[in-house]
Amino acid sequence: MTVRSASTNQWVTFPLPLPQARLRLFCFPYAGGNSLIYRTWSSGLPATVEVCAIQLPGHGNRLREPPFDRITPLVRALAPQLSPYLNKPFAFFGHSLGALISFELARLLRKESRRQPVHLFVSGHSAPQIKDAEPRTFDLPTAAFIEELRRLNGTPKEVLEHPELIGLMTPILRADFAISQTYQYVNEAPLDCHLTAFGGLQDADVSREHLEAWRTQTRANFNLRMFPGDHFFLNSSRPALLQALSLELKRLN
């Protein structure tokens, strides 16, 4: 993976740098994930789109840095790191926790710099105004927390069964879960950008109805697309997801 300006900005990585691209797509990982999730996406998207994968502190090659566990300080730290790359049209894609981060970042950019993405793609996350009825899990005892990870089916089995690996991942996952589970929605005007919500048909935690509720977060066009798979359909249905993304992105540039 190529990391542009790694010495000064470790937040944004470029799997395939495309300086002549007409649009940048910033991709935000799910809880426990890192920028490598999006390392192959460039090959499935239009050549006019540059994939910019976000690497959060405590994740991937930033393991030595403490992870954020609240969303407000995270997006406030992230916004200025993206600023140098917002000199051309840009869009956001976020899956699960990444959807929430990208949404709040879009609102912060609107407030502080009057910039907005041309399109916000939110994947595998209920609309932010819907209060999470599930009990919080980020502070569960270790054994119960690992069982919750098994239920979610997003952590590789070899990690769950390897004491050293799960010991390394647990603090990161707890911090990421805390971002989501302590989130407090604040009512603001809808965004002006187009918004597309993606969901998994077999996702037991995020219903079609809760995805449809994203409609109220934009004044522009809203679309909802469902794919075969559970909460991690972005892996199991990746070709179909990238095809849907490509169709939308071609309309933007």
Higher pLDDT, 5 or 219: 219
Token digits of residue 73: 């300080």
Q: What is the domain partition of the chain in residue ranges? A: 12-132+185-252
Residues 70-97 as b/e (b if ≥16 CB within 10 A, e otherwise) read: ebeebbeebbeebeebbeeebbbbbbbb
Helix pair angle (97-113, 71-82), 10° resolution? 60
CATH class of 12-132+185-252: alpha beta
Catalytic residues: 96
- For residue range 18-71, list pLDDT tens digits in order: 989 999 999 999 988 899 999 999 999 999 999 999 999 999 999 899 999 999
Compare 170 and 76 and report the one with higher pLDDT.
76
Query: In 153-188, which ranges are continuous DSSP H helix?
Result: 157-160, 163-181
Dump pLDDT digits (tens) for 2-13.
Answer: 334 333 579 999
Q: Do 241 and 229 contact (CB within 8 A), yes or no?
A: no
- Per-residue confidence (pLDDT) for residue 158, from 0 to 100: 67
If you average pLDDT over residues 202-211, what whole number do you get? 94
pLDDT above 80 for 148? no
